[in-house]
Amino acid sequence: MTTVTTKGGRKKEEGITWDVFAQGLWRDNPVLVMLLGLCPVLAVSNSAVNALAMGLATTFVLVSSGALVSLLRHLIPKQVRIATYIVIIATFVTIVDYLIQAISLDLYNALGAFIQLIVVNCIILGRAEAYASRNTLGRAVVNATGMGLGFTLALLALGSIREILGAGSLFGIDLFGKGFEPWVVMIMPPGGFIVLSLLLVAFNWINQRLGRQIEQSEGCGHGT
């Protein structure tokens, strides 16, 4: 919760809590729960390196834009807030684009146009509109960091599984030797859909198990 209601009926903002950070890691994971940003998730996750790079790039833009939107939230007119958010996001995307190009041309070419498409990623614009524009700098940065890491972890899991099964390697390091027969389909578009669907099934199964355990523990507590 962002606010609490006092006895006088006034709303007061709560401090930064673990829930603010953990929201994007598990409960509202951008990929595994909200199913946002699936275009880059499926397109660049054919290797762990590409997945990690895209996740970190998105996290940088998410945190930076969220921080700036939070700082300027009282100065941005409501009528032009979306256009302003897009300009802010595009600025940080341009910085990331040049940074990746300077660090590694091979990685830059592998990620292709999906670096520039971070501008229209629903996760970033959604956080700017729904959270950063309504909360203090500290809460906005912590929440954006959690969301970014949740996106990165989901992307990294997808990329690691696809690379291991599709190429027999992880971060370019051979794991199984020459005798391994790679599942080439895993590094192709159908492999992305297959692995993502399996991750969604596993994620929902774990959530259901955790939910039942919590209900049982609460039931035992009431019983005593």
Residue 4 is assigned to a structural domain of this protein: no
- Tell me what pLDDT residue 220 has: 66
- Tell me what pLDDT residue 179 has: 86
Boundaries of domain holding 117: 18-223
- Tell me what pLDDT residue 210 has: 86
Residue 181 is assigned to a structural domain of this protein: yes
Per-residue model confidence as pLDDT tens digits over 177-217: 888 999 999 999 899 999 999 999 999 999 898 888 877 77
Cα→Cα distances 162→10, 149, 179, 195, Å: 51, 20, 18, 7
The one-character DSSP state at 25 is I
- Tell me what pLDDT residue 64 has: 97
- Tell me what pLDDT residue 15 has: 64
* pTM exceeds 0.85 for this model: yes
Q: How far apart are CA 101 and CA 110, in angstroms?
A: 11
Residue 2 is assigned to a structural domain of this protein: no
Tally the domains of the chain.
Answer: 1
More confident residue, 3 or 56: 56
Residue 81 is assigned to a structural domain of this protein: yes
Place of tokens 């834009």: 65
Per-residue model confidence as pLDDT tens digits over 115-167: 999 998 889 999 999 999 999 999 999 999 999 999 999 999 999 999 999 99
Per-residue model confidence as pLDDT tens digits over 99-120: 999 999 999 999 988 999 999 8
Residue 103 is assigned to a structural domain of this protein: yes
